[in-house]
Amino acid sequence: MVRPKRSFAPLVAFLLLLAAGAWYVRWRTTRYDPLIDRVSREFQLDFWLVKSLIYEESWYDARARGEAGELGLMQVMPGVAQEFSQETGRGLSEEALLDPETNLRVGCWYLRQSLEKYKGYSDPLPYALARYNAGETRVKRWIEEARSGSPRPDGASFVNSINFPLTRKYITNILKRKPKTKKPKT
């Protein structure tokens, strides 16, 4: 009995496709690392925090556009860009916000502003992330709802008080994704 010859072409094609997919994911998730490192250091932010926020906001798509008008890697809102422009005296067009470096600069500036705003809290990060995602007015309301005899609720109580499931998930995803260690030297 003569056995038909097997073709390994489908297996080879599958393995090549798998390797290309892995390469693409690695490229997409690391191509901005040197820029993220430089800009995050400029604003005294943790590299992994900024990287985790970008993952959550745009999955590293510098041309991303959100339904509410948010733009770029860090999904910067036009109002935030206007605040940045007023503080720095540097006008920004929509196209400028799609430039990765400009977008990172504005997004990191706003995240730094948010962390400074809540620095009196034991853990300002959940508050800053909530402000980044849902705005300051909502954060004020959630702080009021989280208070239980304490003028400054802890981060966990605050996150639990957030009645926007997407914002609560946004914060927990970033906090889970962000390693507790610093970026290794490259």
pLDDT bracket for residue 69 (50, 70, 90): very high
Please report the pLDDT score of residue 182 as a whole number: 55
> Does the pLDDT of residue 42 top 70, yes or no?
yes
Q: Where are the alpha helices (DSSP H) in 135-164?
A: 136-146, 155-161
**Nearest in space to 104 (alpha carbons), one of 175, 54, 64:** 54
- Select the CATH number that applies to the domain covering 31-112 from these four: 1.10.10.10, 3.40.50.720, 1.10.530.10, 1.10.1660.10: 1.10.530.10
Query: Which position among 57, 94, 116, 144 bears the catalytic label?
Result: 57
Chain position carrying tokens 């990287």: 51
Q: At 118, is the secondary structure helix, strand, or coil?
A: coil
Q: What is the domain partition of the chain in residue ranges?
A: 31-112, 118-178
Give catalytic status of residue 42 as yes or no.
no
What is the pLDDT averaged over residues 139-163?
A: 84
Q: At what angle do helices 33-42 and 47-58 cross, to 10 degrees?
A: 120
Binning the chain into helix, strand and coil, the percentages to the nearest 5 are: 65, 0, 35
What is the pLDDT averaged over residues 79-106?
A: 93
**Nearest in space to 126 (alpha carbons), one of 78, 81, 162:** 162
Length of the chain: 186
pLDDT bracket for residue 180 (50, 70, 90): low
Please report the pLDDT score of residue 145 as a whole number: 84
pLDDT bracket for residue 29 (50, 70, 90): confident
Q: Which of 47-56, 102-111, 129-138, 151-160 has the lowest mean pLDDT?
A: 151-160
What is the pLDDT averaged over residues 87-107?
A: 93
- The whole-chain average pLDDT of the chain stands at 89
Q: How far apart are CA 106 and CA 93, in angstroms?
A: 12
The phi and psi torsions of 7 (rounded to 5 degrees) equal -100, 130
pLDDT bracket for residue 179 (50, 70, 90): confident
What is the pLDDT averaged over residues 69-96?
A: 93
CB 126 within 8 A of CB 158: yes
Please report the pLDDT score of residue 162 as a whole number: 93
Q: How far apart are CA 53 and CA 47, in angstroms?
A: 10
More confident of the two residues 186 and 35: 35
Please report the pLDDT score of residue 105 as a whole number: 97
Please report the pLDDT score of residue 109 as a whole number: 98
Residues in CB range of 138: below 8 A, 6 or more apart: 130, 164, 167
